[in-house]
Amino acid sequence: MEKSVDLGRDVLKWIAVVTMTLDHTGAILLPDVNILRVIGRLSFPLFSYLLVLGLESTRNARSYFSRLFLFALISQIPFYLALGVQPLEHLNIFFTLSSGLVFIHFHRKNPLIALLPLLASIVLRFDYGIYGIMLIGCMYLLRSDTELGVILVFLLNLLFLPVSSVQFLSVLALPIILVYEKGYLGTAWRSNARITYPTWKKYFFYLYYPLHLAMFYALKVIPTFVMPLF
């Protein structure tokens, strides 16, 4: 019996992490370097697509949600410190992803529950807001109907063009996603072997988010403490 390891998904994760890091470098440390924010537009569509892949492969959607929500709580302090917002003024991306997971998981099983994340994104200030929840929905549809999903991603970004013109550049993540969809990023095969995903790798991508924000906050405040010493 053959089992597989999805190396392509790891490639998507690393691209998402790198582009997110560049985006936050621009937002927190180098606000005048606009190209960093432009590159960063790729990260959220990739994370949204990875969320859909995660839901497809998980055996326990409730556990998946709990893990996302736990890291939403853990990440909020470094998030508001690094971004310079009030503690509950703006909620980090894990709140968006966990709410998006509820949206796509219940959209057929219980539409009323699926509406709650959309309403929450209006009342609360999630990172990417209702746009983020809807983009996750588009990525979910893309998995079953690629052409429809691509069209909806374009239409969604056109709809929100007056809100954020730079966010339209997130459509540049679509070629990367389509390369994965076509299977060109590669899958490693092993025969008659029990394949387990390393725990460190599984949680690295969760832990990296609050840790890199904490590091950026430290880099931002260190000069404030050091300069008076000179």
Q: CA 166: distance to chain centroid? A: 17
Structure confidence at residue 112 (pLDDT):
87
- Average pLDDT over the chain reads 88
Neighbours of 104 (CB within 10 A): 22
Structure confidence at residue 202 (pLDDT):
75
Number of domains in the chain: 1
Question: Which letter, b or e, does each residue of 90-101 get, where b requires 16 or more Cβ atoms within 10 Å of its Cβ?
Answer: bbbbbbbbbbbb
Structure confidence at residue 198 (pLDDT):
65
| pLDDT of 224 higher than 70 | no
Domain membership of residue 111 as a residue range? 2-229
Structure confidence at residue 50 (pLDDT):
97
CA–CA dist 75, 213 (Å, integer) = 8
CB 37 within 8 A of CB 27: yes
